Amino acid sequence: MPAAPDTTGPRLLAVSDLHVGFAANRAIAERIEPVSAADWLIVAGDVGERAADVEWALGTLSERFAKVVWVPGNHELWTHSRDTLRLRGDERYRHLVEVCRRLGVVTPEDPYPVWAGEGGPVVVAPLFVLYDYSFLPAGAASAAEGLAQAYSAGVVSTDERWLHPDPFPSREAWCDHRLATTERRLAELPPGLPTVLVNHFPLVREPTAVMRYPVFAQWCGTVRTADWPVRFRAQAVVYGHLHIPRTTWHDGVRHEEVSLGYPREWRRRAAPPVIPRQILPALAPRSASRFRG
Ligand SMILES: [Fe+2]
Ligand SMILES: [Fe+2]
C-alpha cells in the first residue's frame, strides 16, 4: 500500500497500532511500501503483542524504507500468556531494542536521527515515556481515586494484567524514570534544531477528550509532557494508542495520531484507512484535512 505521492522528494511517513496479530491488519502491514527509496517510516508502537510478530513487521518494513524509527506501545510491553517470550518490563523492552538494532531500526535508546529532506533539518526523536495515571478523570483528586472510578465503571486497561513494570515497583515509577532520562536528552539537543517528537501515547491530554470512555485516559499519558512540544521545538508530534486517527493543533503544534487500529474499528469507518501518513514535508492544511478521522 504505497501512500499517495504528494511530493517528488523523500518523505517522512508514520504509522502506529498495526496490531499485526489480526490477519487483516497483517495483510495491510504487508502492503506498506515507500514511494521513494529514500522515504523514512516512523512506527509509533503497538505493532503487536508477540515479540515474533513485532520482529516480522519491523523486519519487513526495514527492508523497504531507508530508515525505520520505532517506539514501543503498551502492547509490545505486555507479557502475554500466549507469547513464548516471557521477559517482563524493562528487560522485555531492552530485548526489543536489541531486536531492532539487529534489524537496523532506530529506537528510543539510539542517537536521534536528523531528517535532512524537505522540511528539515529536523531531529526525529523516538520517545518512550509511558503513563502515570495523571490524566485524572473528572471528580478524582488522586490517581487512587481515578483508578477506583475506572474499576467501578468496569473500564480498566488490560495493561493492569499484562504490562509489568519490573524492576520498577510500579508503572508510575517506570514512567518517572523514563521522563527524567528522556527530558535530559531532549534538553541537550542543539537549541536551533526543530524536532519531530514520536511517542506511543499523546504528549498532551487534549486528544483524549474525545475518547469513548474518558476514564480510560489514565492509561494514555502523563501531564508531565504537556510543555514538551513547545519547549523542544516540535514541528510535529506523532503518536497513536487512541485508535482515533486525526490531526489536531495544540499551542500551535501539529499533533498527528497515525494509528491503524483494530479491524473492527477501521472497518466501521466510512473511508478505508489511509496509512502511512505524511509528516514531512508538511502537507498544506487543505490536503491534510482529508486525513481527519
Ligand atoms: Fe493500539
Ligand atoms: Fe496502545
Take residue 200 and report the three cell numbers written for it: 506511543
Ligand nearest to the CA of 220: 2
* Whole-angstrom distance, CA of residue 217 vs CA of residue 205: 8
What is the distance in A from the centroid of ligand 2 to the CA of 122? 26
Residues 6+ apart with CB under 8 A from 280: 11, 12, 115, 117, 118, 119, 120, 122, 196, 235, 236
Backbone dihedral region for residue 93 (phi beyond 0: left; psi -120 to 50: alpha; all else: beta): alpha
Ligand nearest to the CA of 244: 1
pLDDT at res. 6? 52
Amino acid identity for residue 248 in this structure: T
Ligand nearest to the CA of 261: 1
pLDDT at res. 9? 85
What is the distance in A from the centroid of ligand 1 to the CA of 19? 7
What is the distance in A from the centroid of ligand 1 to the CA of 9? 30
What is the distance in A from the centroid of ligand 1 to the CA of 1? 20
pTM of the model: 0.94
* Whole-angstrom distance, CA of residue 83 vs CA of residue 213: 29
What is the distance in A from the centroid of ligand 1 to the CA of 200? 9
Ligand nearest to the CA of 245: 1
- The one-character DSSP state at 203 is S
Backbone dihedral region for residue 62 (phi beyond 0: left; psi -120 to 50: alpha; all else: beta): alpha
Task: Give the pLDDT of the chain (293 residues) as one tens digit per residue.
Answer: 655 555 578 999 999 999 999 999 999 999 999 999 999 999 999 999 999 999 999 999 999 999 999 999 999 999 999 999 999 999 999 999 999 999 999 999 999 999 999 999 999 999 999 999 999 999 999 999 999 999 999 999 999 999 999 999 999 999 999 999 999 999 999 999 999 999 999 999 999 999 999 999 999 999 999 999 999 999 999 999 999 999 999 999 999 999 999 999 999 999 889 999 999 999 876 444 333 32
pLDDT at res. 289? 37
253 within 8 A of 15, measured Cβ to Cβ: no
Take residue 211 and report the three cell numbers written for it: 475518547
What is the distance in A from the centroid of ligand 1 to the CA of 67? 22
Selection from 229, 237, 251, 223 nearest residue 280 by Cα = 237
Amino acid identity for residue 9 in this structure: G
Selection from 262, 215, 212, 194 nearest residue 22 by Cα = 262
